[in-house]
Amino acid sequence: MGIIDFRLRPPLRGFLDTLMYNAGDRRDGFTRTVGFEPSAAAQRQSMDLLLEEMDGAGVEYGVVVGRRAGMLGSVSNEDVLHIMRSYGKRFVGAASIDPTSRRGACDTIDQAIGQGFKLINIEPGAYPVPMYADDRRLYPIYGHCEDRQVPVILMVGGTAGPDLGYSDPIRTDRVLADFPNLKVVVAHGGWPWVNEILHVAFRRPNLYLSPDMYFSRMPGWEEYVKAADGFLADRMLYASSFPFCPVRGYRDWFETLPIREENRVKVMRENARVLLGL
């Protein structure tokens, strides 16, 4: 059983229309900022090269996330489903929803579950009309996911909205408190609110943390490492955030971190396997 990469964006379909692929110099600049050389699979937009890189890194599954976003670019659930069906079991899908329609969002969630999606992706501050994580328009959608026992990826870190208020961990804490049986994966690790989101994780056992590209040598990254080897070992999730980080280079770097082997196996594989029911 291999590694599960919890945030991996293949060079296919709608992903090619997003900033991560159509602004390659910008992407590669970030890659070098966090200490890696860009992936040839990203630069050449080659699916064959990505699969080779995944195999070389020992990545068994990649989690592919659909999104409805403004300036960041959108990826439809149909595109994610195409990737899931075209490459067998290599990719696990997270479906996106339109938060402006409660009924439509709930219908989308039910349809996605039936199609084999394992998660629902919600990016409050990145929607065309930004929302905060605790916006009451999202609450029926959170409740529907909780009732269906489907985990939610909540992007409340990094470029999570027009300003830093959209990644405010206090708002995430409220959601976790109001839906205690909803498993929530905070994408981008809640960065830059590192200590604050780790405190929320300490308080709320339904929070999973995926710092992905912000794990790598960004301010505060050492605290993520301590948590991964400590109280959060059962709820930290490994993710390269390809194409921002290379799949193979990120794996090689991650395995140098001072995380005990039994916890590294949890972070890189077992936590995601249990969360996704694989």
pLDDT tens, position by position, 91-125: 999 999 999 999 999 999 999 999 999 999 999 99
- pTM comes to 0.95
pLDDT tens, position by position, 132-153: 999 999 999 999 999 999 999 9
Average pLDDT over residues 257-271: 98
Average pLDDT over residues 4-24: 93
Maximum C-alpha span of the chain: 47
pLDDT tens, position by position, 27-70: 999 999 999 999 999 999 999 999 999 999 999 999 999 988 77
Closest CA to 226 of 240, 241, 211: 211
- With contact defined as beta carbons under 8 Å apart, do 154 and 134 qualify? no
pLDDT score, position 117:
97
- In angstroms, the CA 242 to CA 236 distance is 18
* Banded pLDDT at 259 (limits 50, 70, 90): very high
pLDDT tens, position by position, 210-257: 999 999 888 999 999 999 999 999 999 999 999 999 999 999 999 999
pLDDT score, position 99:
94
